[in-house]
Structure 1
Amino acid sequence: MKMKNEIIDVSNLYKKIEDNVKKVVVGQDEIIKMVFLTLICDSHSIIVGVPGLAKTLIIKLISKTIDCKYSRIQFTPDLMPSDITGTTVLRKDEKETLYKFIKGPIFANIILADEINRTPPKTQAALLQSMEERVVTNEGVDYELEKPFNVFATQNPIEQEGTYPLPEAELDRFMFMIDINYPDKKSEMEILKERIVNENFNVEEGIVKKSEILKIQEYVKTLPLGSNIVETVWKILKNSRPETSEVDKVAEYVKWGASPRAGIFIIAAAKGYALLDGRLTPDINDVVKVAPYVLKHRLILSFKGEMENVKKEDIVESIIKKSCF
């Protein structure tokens, strides 16, 4: 009975966040859900979309809804690692001279890494190390990052000049790659009718406690898992790899498939998705829902796949059909 009450609490919690964000953002319901899913799975996501589709706004509004510290880092070509992690400064007073570490914007709960591919690899690495290890090291001293700690990076797919694409090994640290598309006609008409430039949005702040998010993060990890789900996820991983795949497109167009980390992420995300729907255990449909977000940025196309401009989405769809049905 206790578990059932907790499920209801999670559903209600998400409803509060969703309703608050939808006071401002129109037509991006699935994106809001995937961002919240990233939070409760205690992970990170990368959001890809052209300018003006509310990528930054969604993260900012969710952060406002939760009683936590939010930090936005605008990535530029001249951004240095210390601009993210912090720096040591020399301070003098009448008695002594001290070196003090001034914490950077990475010391927050929800981080927006805006246009992460505009900064050189050295600076990208400073962020990605913090994502993986949840600590910042300065002058040999480790500073733990406060929980929850979730990074949301954004990328603009239409501008490639002067950018530094994230290597596949670093992309692998992001649980989801979330593509944000243009709204449908009804939603866009509503946006055009109701919104004005530089509008002051009236949303409730801090209506969800940070402790509630932490509690759910731990709860997701304890949800039971059926052996059929584990086997299905294993089939997805197997069929994503050209040397073991039963999918013709993979054997022909994919150079490298998904790692075990991808499977761990699929299972965690499926658990979270089930929880949002008021269920204790995930089913195959939950796996089907979350797997595309986990797989897309982990498949590396072969030279032939690149030359023929093969869409990863089509390959992922074939992998899921073969593995889940």
Structure 2
Amino acid sequence: MSANDAISDLKKRMAQSIIGQTDVIDRLVIGLLANGNLLVEGLPGLAKTRAIKAMARNLDAKFSRIQFTPDLLPSDVTGTEIYHQAGGEAEFRFEPGPIFANIVLADEINRAPAKVQAALLEAMEERQVTVAGTTHKMDPLFIVMATQNPIEQEGTYPLPEAQMDRFLMHVNITYPPVEDEVEVIRLVRGEEIAAQADAANPSEAEKPAPIRQQAVFDARTEIGQVHTSDAMDRYMADLVQATRTPAALDEDLARWISVGASPRASLALDRCSRAHAWMAGRDYVDPQDVRAIVHDVFRHRISLSFEAQGEDRRTDDVTDAIVRLVALP
């Protein structure tokens, strides 16, 4: 099985558990292939955690979930040195925390204080944790998928914009249409009936083998060979530059944008657009690949002005305007 076939199989398996959220599944897989961390935001009950678990369940990978709470400590995430004594000898040994996994679900990341968030984001950026002067490396396959919801801001610690910039993409999950919600009801009902049947009569039915990690590494190698023309490089740079000098394009943009995107946005556009093109079966990037993921890349990197917030403008609205005004290559 080729790497593309294996990743397509992964998406199909995830779609069996997540109804009507094909865009979300695509973004999670792109994050996996682009070797970046994701921030997944949506109202409660919109299958944020379920989608991430569906990916981990179908991959041959170690999964870890960290439920962020106000009383969480950095050592609860990274691990700590534990004093061991046996046979008359004593020593300190490092006990790895839940961050040492292949796929880490940081559930409700905005409910933990800044010190815990910083410990997680350091591991995301450096792919290592240093405890008591010793550096512990992460596995080659390592991705953090953090969730947060936009309500119940009391008792939360919103991520600073500068720290959010470390996420490759900010994926937004919205309410499903009513037809999909009907399918969700039937899906969950069927899962409950199947679980009760298995509890009464445990079956020995074989589950499909999980997707091997090597398929992800092979896909990343192939994505690295996807061609990006000079014109496409300039187009991505122009999109990012438009967030920094909006007055050159439009007066309204100048009023709406307070702080533009950093160079990380350009790098994220490049990585994600190549992954998007590869998933579409092409060996080159075209403008549609960039436009498909630009909202997820810009969503957490553009700071809106008070005037834009007063006019009820969203970051996606600003991104729409930028895409419309920046010339295609």
Q: 2:223 aligns with which of 208, 220, 223?
A: 220
Which residue in the other structure is 2:25 paired with? 32
Give the superposition deviation at 1:311. 1.6
The residue correspondences of 1:276-287 to structure 2 (distance < 5 A) are 276-287=279-290
Please state if 1:115 is matched with 2:118.
no
Give the superposition deviation at 1:31. 0.3
User: C-alpha distance in 2, partners of 1:13/1:173?
Assistant: 28
User: C-alpha distance in 2, partners of 1:297/1:204?
Assistant: 38
Give the superposition deviation at 1:203. 9.8
Which residue in the other structure is 2:10 paired with? 17
Which stretches of structure 1, 4 residues or more, deviate above 4 A after TM superposition? 200-206
Q: 1:54 aligns with which of 42, 47, 59?
A: 47
Give the superposition deviation at 1:64. 1.1
Please state if 1:321 is matched with 2:324.
yes
Which residue in the other structure is 1:166 paired with? 159
Deviates more, 1:204-213 or 1:227-236: 204-213
Deviates more, 1:112-121 or 1:94-103: 94-103
Question: Are 1:38 and 1:175, in contact at CA under 8 Å, matched by a contact in 2?
Answer: yes
The residue correspondences of 1:86-97 to structure 2 (distance < 5 A) are 86-97=79-90
The residue correspondences of 1:60-209 to structure 2 (distance < 5 A) are 60-196=53-189, 199=192, 204=207, 206-209=209-212
User: C-alpha distance in 2, partners of 1:129/1:156?
Assistant: 22
Question: Are 2:41 and 2:173, in contact at CA under 8 Å, matched by a contact in 1?
Answer: yes
Query: Aligned AA for 1:16?
Result: D
Q: 1:288 aligns with which of 268, 271, 291?
A: 291
User: C-alpha distance in 1, partners of 2:238/2:247?
Assistant: 10
CA gap 1:217/1:245 in 2 versus in 1, 3 angstroms: farther
Give the superposition deviation at 1:76. 0.3
User: C-alpha distance in 2, partners of 1:204/1:159?
Assistant: 39
Which residue in the other structure is 1:5 paired with? none
CA gap 1:165/1:198 in 2 versus in 1, 3 angstroms: farther
Q: 2:255 aligns with which of 238, 252, 265?
A: 252
User: C-alpha distance in 1, partners of 2:218/2:52?
Assistant: 20
Question: Are 1:239 and 1:250, in contact at CA under 8 Å, matched by a contact in 2?
Answer: no
Structure 2 length-normalised TM: 0.92
Query: Aligned AA for 2:62?
Result: K
Give the superposition deviation at 1:206. 4.5
- Structure 1's unaligned 5+ residue stretches are 1-7
Deviates more, 1:49-58 or 1:39-48: 49-58
Q: Deviations over 1:90-140 (max 9, x none)?
A: 111123111011000000011100000000000000000000000000001
Give the superposition deviation at 1:308. 3.0
Query: Aligned AA for 1:93?
Result: A
| Identity percentage of aligned residues | 35
Q: Deviations over 1:149-199 (max 9, x none)?
A: 101000111211111010011100111111111111221111123323973
User: C-alpha distance in 2, partners of 1:20/1:76?
Assistant: 31
SS in 2 for 1:66: coil
Which residue in the other structure is 1:275 paired with? 278
Question: Are 2:3 and 2:218, in contact at CA under 8 Å, matched by a contact in 1?
Answer: no
Give the superposition deviation at 1:250. 2.2
Question: Are 1:23 and 1:203, in contact at CA under 8 Å, matched by a contact in 2?
Answer: no
SS in 2 for 1:261: helix
- Structure 2's unaligned 5+ residue stretches are 196-204
User: C-alpha distance in 2, partners of 1:229/1:197?
Assistant: 46
CA gap 1:203/1:49 in 2 versus in 1, 3 angstroms: farther
Which residue in the other structure is 1:264 paired with? 267
Question: Are 1:242 and 1:256, in contact at CA under 8 Å, matched by a contact in 2?
Answer: no
Question: Are 1:20 and 1:203, in contact at CA under 8 Å, matched by a contact in 2?
Answer: no
CA gap 1:242/1:60 in 2 versus in 1, 3 angstroms: same
Question: Are 1:249 and 1:315, in contact at CA under 8 Å, matched by a contact in 2?
Answer: no
Give the superposition deviation at 1:243. 5.9
User: C-alpha distance in 2, partners of 1:126/1:32?
Assistant: 27
Give the superposition deviation at 1:204. 4.3
Q: Deviations over 1:32-73 (max 9, x none)?
A: 011000000000110111111111111111111110101000
Give the superposition deviation at 1:78. 0.4
Which residue in the other structure is 2:200 paired with? none
User: C-alpha distance in 1, partners of 2:162/2:211?
Assistant: 34
Give the superposition deviation at 1:324. 4.4
